[in-house]
């Protein structure tokens, strides 16, 4: 049986969706394939997103910013939007069974010194980690009971 695909969407695909993708890949323990994309991709992964994930042992350095249309011809079991704009722009994907909307602040809009911006990135990372680890645990419990 092939692994179901979980697609995480945000507008720019530079911060939040990559944080969630990295965390869910680890927390999901190979139970599903995880990808991220954006409705208007920024074309890069934010360096501070890479930095705060490295702090918790997750490497995003090879991630790229992708458009959600790249997934329109692929079976996607679950779509999770992490910002309001992506939720509104989100199409229905082939095979889509589940859709969740869990919005988080965009750390890319943080202002101040690099250290002040890092505080915001870390807070959002930790909020995303709590939600996506709980989601992965729920999926694992569901699979055991099936």
Q: Which of 83, 110, 120, 136 is catalytic?
A: 83
Query: What domains sit in the chain, N to C, each tagged with a CATH number?
Result: 5-132 (3.40.50.2300)
Structure tokens at 25: 């890949």
pLDDT 10s digits, 27-60: 998 889 999 999 899 999 999 999 999 999 999 9
DSSP code of residue 11: S
Q: Where does residue 126 rank: exposed (0-12), middle (13-18), buried (19+ CB within 10 A)?
A: middle
Rounded to the nearest integer, the mean pLDDT of the chain is 91
Q: What is the pLDDT of residue 17?
A: 96
Give the H or E element holding residue 127: helix 114-145
> Among 21-30, 71-80, 84-93, 118-127, which stretch is predicted with the lowest mean pLDDT?
84-93
116 phi/psi in degrees, rounded to 5: -65, -40
pLDDT higher for 93 or 127? 127
User: Between the CA of residue 95 and those of 6, 79, 111, 114, what are the distances in Å?
Assistant: 11, 11, 40, 42
Query: Residues near 107 by Cβ (< 8 Å), separated by ≥ 6?
Result: 15, 16, 46, 48, 49, 117, 120, 121, 123, 124, 125
pTM beyond 0.85 = yes
Q: Which of 58, 90, 118, 128 is catalytic?
A: 90
CB 45 within 8 A of CB 60: yes
Q: What is the pLDDT of residue 87?
A: 59
User: Between the CA of residue 38 and those of 29, 44, 65, 81, what are the distances in Å?
Assistant: 24, 11, 7, 9
Is 15 among the residues known to form the active site? no
Q: Which of 10, 24, 45, 76 is catalytic?
A: 10
Q: What is the pLDDT of residue 64?
A: 96
Percent of the chain, pLDDT > 90? 70
């Amino acid at each position: 049986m092939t692994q179901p695909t979980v697609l995480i969407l945000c507008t720019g695909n530079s911060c939040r969706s990559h944080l969630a993708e990295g965390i869910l890949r680890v927390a999901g323990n190979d139970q599903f394939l995880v990808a991220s994309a954006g409705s208007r991709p920024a074309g890069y992964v934010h360096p501070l997103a890479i930095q705060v994930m490295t702090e918790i042992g997750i490497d995003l350095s090879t991630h790229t910013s992708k458009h959600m249309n790249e997934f329109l011809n692929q079976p996607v079991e679950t779509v999770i939007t992490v910002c309001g704009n992506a939720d509104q722009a989100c199409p229905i994907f082939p095979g889509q069974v589940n859709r969740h909307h869990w919005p988080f602040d965009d750390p890319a809009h943080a202002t101040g010194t690099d250290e002040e911006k890092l505080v915001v990135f870390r807070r959002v990372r930790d909020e995303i980690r709590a939600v996506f680890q709980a989601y992965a645990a729920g999926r694992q419990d569901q699979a055991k009971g099936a």
